[in-house]
Amino acid sequence: MNAARLIACHECDLLQRETVLTGGATARCRRCGAMLYRSPPASVDRALAFTLAAIVLFAVANAFPIVGLSVNGTLVETTLFGAARILYDDGVWPLAGLVFVTTLLMPLLDMAAVTYVLLPLRSGHVPRRPDIVLRVLRRVTPWGMIEVLILGMLVALVKLAAIATVVPGIAMLAFGAVMLLLAAAAAAFDHHDIWTRIDIARSVASVPVAPVVPVAQTSASAPTAARAGLFVCHDCGLLSKPASHAHEGRCPRCGSHLHFRKPGSIARTWAFVIAAIVLYIPANMLPVMDTSSLFGAQTDTILSGVVYLWTSGSWPLAAIVFIASIAVPMLKIIALVFLVLTAQLRWRWLPERRTRIYRVVELVGRWSMLDIYVITILVALVQFNALATIKAGPGAIAFGAVVVLTMFAAMSFDPRLIWDAMEPDHE
């Protein structure tokens, strides 16, 4: 690796020299503190081993029931796919699709993409079209929510224990193991390291490698990639020079579309945030569950579910559900409005703190799916016909839409806009 090679921070656009790291070290941006790249020890071997083990256990988790519910000798069991299918059969297909995508499809695509890339690299070969596969991997990773599913299962078990005898299934343990293995694989997998290995393998095989930008080609008075007239690829991290007077292009290494800033970032973020604000009201006012039993019908909102957990003595779970399902979506919307407004008005106030807020918004948004998974498990298991049945209510669809919209809003926002106001041109 060339020690004089330039890299740019994805969050503040600052140009910095890339240096060789020792095993396990992490390089962070000297301006905003964002992680630039890592040097995980034995990254390929460890990530591949964890991923292959996760694939095996993922198959086991989907082949056996997650949990069963026994009432008067009648046992109702469900797999995760079966739970999504029950939602679909009940006519709540948006919720069924969301559960299927976030707990089955995206984790499977994630594991398949990692395996496809790492298996050939382990033997020194480059897989066919790694650019497409790695691009897909970056897109699907945020939408795999196995860890949120596990917490949702635990909350559902507490609620089910008050109804009947709960029989935990093999799949619950398997999903827990998958969660740990995927976390370990993600910790070992580093996109920067993978692209470096691909470049080395291509150079050994005499395949043309995309040129890098050395320090000598960039003036010291241009501390950011945009001021230096350089594109930074968000998929592979390569810096490249655009054609004369061009405001967009393609990465010479992975073929991704390149822009100095995300196109229409402010407008798209506003659109997603406003839609989330509109749906947040019915998500909390309308029932998320409709329960029918011998004792009559009952509707539950998100807040009434929190109250039930609290009064039943499960106050830690009540606090978790309240934070994940009520506080986090509301605070995330407020934070996104604050970020996009200050970026649009080009405020120069505390850019480091605003960048940290952006990271927190990206980190916690997925945990709002907790209540969706609780509803999914309850709907799938409480199906005792005349005795008791639970169906998802319209509030659950609105709430799921709020979670998705806020995640899209965070992805649409370009944090480099926070730092653009700090440039000399805007003094």
Top mean-pLDDT range of 42-46, 123-127, 134-138, 229-233: 134-138
| Spatial contact of 406 and 335, defined as CB atoms under 8 Å apart | no
Of 122, 117, 159, 158, residue with least CA distance to 137: 117
Q: 134 CB contacts (<8 Å, ≥6 apart)? A: 113, 117, 191, 194, 195, 235, 236, 254
| Confidence grade of residue 244 (pLDDT, cut at 50, 70, 90) | low
Residue type, 47: A
Write the DSSP symbol of residue 65: -
Q: In terms of residues, how long is the chain?
A: 427
* 161 vs 138, residue with greater confidence: 138
Task: Tell me the helices (H) and strands (E) count for the chain, helix number first.
Answer: 16, 14
CA distance 151 to 147: 7
Strands (E), 41-200: 67-71, 74-78, 165-168
88 by Cβ neighbours in 10 Å (0-12 / 13-18 / 19+) ranks as middle
Of 49, 57, 276, residue with least CA distance to 146: 57
Which secondary-structure segment (H or E) carries 391?
Answer: strand 388-392
Q: How far is CA 165 from CA 158, 235, 380, 397, in A?
A: 11, 49, 15, 29
Look at residue 2 and tell me whether its pLDDT is greater than 60: no
Residue type, 238: L
Residues pairing with 224 in the sheet: 14
Residue 216 is predicted with a pLDDT of 44
Model pTM above 0.95: no
Per-residue pLDDT reduced to its tens digit, 20-43: 877 778 888 888 888 888 887 878
Q: 207 CB contacts (<8 Å, ≥6 apart)? A: 126
Of 408, 375, 411, residue with least CA distance to 94: 375
Domain boundaries, the chain: 6-40+194-259, 43-193+263-426
Residue holding tokens 């020079």? Answer: 241
Per-residue pLDDT reduced to its tens digit, 171-207: 999 999 999 999 999 988 988 888 888 888 777 665 5
| Confidence grade of residue 108 (pLDDT, cut at 50, 70, 90) | very high
CA distance 168 to 157: 9
**What is the number of alpha carbons within 13 Å of residue 391 lying toward its C-beta?**
13
| Spatial contact of 292 and 381, defined as CB atoms under 8 Å apart | no
Which secondary-structure segment (H or E) carries 207?
Answer: none
Of 12, 10, 40, residue with least CA distance to 354: 12
